[in-house]
Amino acid sequence: MLARFPHLRPMALLWLLLWPAPPAQAATAELQFAYLRGNGWQAEQVRVLLQVDRQHRPTLHLQAARLELPGGLGTVTNMALDCPRLVTGAGTYACRHARIRGQFSELGAQTLVTDFRYDQPHGTLELAVDGLRIAGAQAQLQVHAALPGWRIDASLHEADLPAVRAALAPWIQWPAGTWSGRATVAATLAGVGAQLLQLQARVRLANLGYASDDNLLAAERLEAELEFDYAPAAPATGGEASVMATLKAHRGQLYIDPVYLDVAAAPFTLTVTGRQRNNSTRLQAASLHFAQPGVLTASGRGELELGSGALLHQLQLQLEEVVVPRAWPLYVAPFLATTDFKNLSASGGLSGQINVTDGAISRLDLQLQALSVDEPEGALALQAVEGAVRWSTDDAALMAATEAPAPLDATSRLRFAGGRLYGLPFGASELQLLAGGRGLRLLAPVTIPVLDGGLRIDTFRLRHAGEPAMWLRLDAEVLPIDMAALCKVFGWPVFGGTLAGRIPKAALENGVLTLGGNLEARVFDGSVTVSRLHLQDPLGRFPQLQADLHLQALDLALLTNTFEFGHISGRLSGEVLDLQLFDWQPVAFDARLSTPLGDHGPRRITPQAVQNLSSLGGGSGITSALSGGFLRFFKEFRYRQLGIACRLQQDVCLMGGVAPAPGGYYLIQGAGFPRVNLIGSQGRVAWSKLLRQLQRLSEGAPMSVQ
């Protein structure tokens, strides 16, 4: 009959059943309900069996086919509760060491030991649960209910983290990916009726492992503490959940592409406060604070992606304090790992703002204070850099015409006291640049001192750097640089003269570098002109160069003394036409070098130089002639003309000299007395053999005549 009145309070019925009976009698009562409903919970197909012995000691047995718990805590099926001794009085019902069995929706089959106390007049319920198994670990619960609200205090020790993630999935959206490790949790849940209002937790993570689906975020053996306060979305908050979380990491490894952190060497604290819309995987972070003592302090705001995709969907980060020597290797060096500057170290001051979009840096606005960088192998060094560095992924201004004014908030202005590039020192200068995407544009001409000369750059524009479609424009001039000083810097044999010339309208487009004019330089007191320059795939695996070289009046004394070739006075002119290099190795050219007949200066050559020239052209008998007879008494000889020709085809040099000679060609045509004529006899010479001879000449080694 009672099943027809499901609205009757079950505890009121129990009170009637427990009305004192005669002490000499035992009593048994059974109640069945189609369903029972309370504030936030509901039970179906309920059976209550109450037994009272002769001493008025009641026991309670309760079964329910289905029980829906408050606050979205899940469902229990086939639940059975056994209370060995039910204590009643003045509307209060209590039981110690009651056992509960059932199938809990997300937690599986459970057998629990519980103490409970229900105060009907005050509408309060106290419940302690032990023996609960969650995520492979033991859990304890304390339930406090005072209608209409309730609170649950839970603790969990050394639980399997993936299982914890699954258990908390109804309330917290975790980043997608693969998780491992253990967690110890202390949590408090509070709500009203069926609604969860707040979830607070303290989590200690041990041996945490994580790998995002895109492999851009990972953790290994991470030890950390996490505290968070989560309030689910409710109509009063406009359908937004509020989140406040603090992560303190002190051991393990963390990877956020391309940054790798050894957390033990640089522990950090991250605090995030924000809101999350219902059913959204994105957290609107109203405030974010990152503190890494002795390394970096930063704060900002943004949007975090907790589902698939980059974790940092949007971020505006203000650098408040940066300890450059420690922060540089952690947060800058990884971006240089594939360049010649991977070992750069830095000192000085740095501040500014960094914006991130979809996991990648989208904007930089940095202020440099006496920043110095140095690469130990000499690739790059900059001293006392001051100014602003501004860069963004937007390169619209760079794509505009050269004359277009640059936005002031996008202009980088840098001053430096000096530096070094691949061993070459340069002096103080100031640059005005526009940088965006993979492009760079020089906004004003600049002269950079180099040794006693310099490099004046009038135009520099770069687009699509590092891509197949890279595009470059350069117009510059090399101001006279002392060659002796330059040679010492690069460890070359020291020779005199100056290096100067124009680099006119250099252009790189479609993988081909060309010049809008001739490249001119002054060396060995003469000039070298490069024309028809065509360089294909200059930064690729197999660059290919084509050009013509014209040499005008090089001083042979400077040239030969530099390489210990033996002394030759006079001038050298000539050309190297149709020069072709593959992977910077010559594969074809037509070279003719000789003393110009119009040169009226002194022309002298020493025996050593004669022997060395003989080794190139295969002159016969010259060694014995110079070491025997009266020629051995002469320290130098006069000559009318000297020269050599080589036409390289299919790894063979077709040799020639300044004029035909009986049995060969003249390498040296003598003049006056005593006269020495050097005649080359080899018409075809293997290029590899000639290279070896030239190598020995450059090293000052003695030549063998064959």
What DSSP string runs through 282-335? Answer: EEEEEEEEEEETTTEEEEEEEEEE-SSS-SEEEEEEEEEEE-HHHHHHHHTGGG
Q: In terms of C-beta distances under 8 Å and separation of at least 24 residues, what long-range contacts does 371-378 make, across chains too?
A: 371/324, 371/346, 371/347, 372/346, 372/347, 372/348, 373/344, 373/345, 373/346, 374/344, 374/345, 374/346, 375/340, 375/341, 375/343, 375/344, 375/345, 376/343, 376/345, 377/343, 378/420, 378/422, 378/423
Q: Report the C-alpha gap between 4 and 700 in whole angstroms.
A: 116
* pLDDT score, position 317: 94
Which DSSP state fits 16?
A: H
Whether the pLDDT of residue 288 is over 80: the answer is: yes
- Asked whether 499 and 523 are in contact (CB, 8 A), the reply is yes
* pLDDT score, position 690: 77
Segment 473-497 shows an average pLDDT of 83
Of the pLDDT bands very low, low, confident and very high (cuts 50, 70, 90), residue 351 is very high
Residue type, 295: V
Of the pLDDT bands very low, low, confident and very high (cuts 50, 70, 90), residue 171 is low
Segment 477-506 shows an average pLDDT of 82
The C-alpha R_g of the chain, in whole angstroms, comes to 44
The winner for highest mean pLDDT among 305-314, 318-327, 635-644, 682-691 is: 318-327
Q: Give the least confident one: 2-11, 61-70, 258-267, 271-280.
A: 2-11
What DSSP string runs through 72-135? Answer: G--EEEEEEEEES-EEEETTEEEEEEEEEEEEETTTEEEEEEEEEEEETTTTEEEEEEEEEEET
Segment 410-424 shows an average pLDDT of 91
Buried b (16+ CB within 10 A) or exposed e, 368-405: beebbbbbeeebbbbbbbbbebbbbeebebbeeeeeee
Whether the pLDDT of residue 595 is over 50: the answer is: yes
Of the pLDDT bands very low, low, confident and very high (cuts 50, 70, 90), residue 703 is very low
Element (H, E) at 11: helix 10-17
**Distance of alpha carbon 555 from its chain centroid, rounded?**
51
Structure tokens at 103: 């199938």
Q: Report the C-alpha gap between 663 and 682 in whole angstroms.
A: 10
> Percent of the chain having pLDDT more than 90?
35
* pLDDT score, position 390: 92
Burial of 464 (0-12, 13-18, 19+ CB in 10 A): middle
Q: Report the C-alpha gap between 488 and 64 in whole angstroms.
A: 93
Whether the pLDDT of residue 1 is over 60: the answer is: no
| pLDDT tens-digit readout, 530-549 | 999 888 887 677 889 999 99
Average of per-residue pLDDT values in the chain: 83
* pLDDT score, position 593: 93
Candidates 23, 24, 3; CA nearest to 13 is 3
Element (H, E) at 15: helix 10-17
Of the pLDDT bands very low, low, confident and very high (cuts 50, 70, 90), residue 237 is low
| pLDDT tens-digit readout, 109-124 | 889 999 988 888 887 8
The winner for highest mean pLDDT among 96-105, 380-389, 463-472, 516-525 is: 380-389
Q: What's the helix, strand, coil split of the chain in %, to 5?
A: 15, 60, 30
pTM of the model: 0.70
| pLDDT tens-digit readout, 173-225 | 677 889 999 999 999 999 887 788 889 999 999 999 999 888 888 999 999 99
Domain residue ranges in the chain: 2-134, 593-698
Half-sphere exposure of 451 (CA within 13 A, CB side): 19
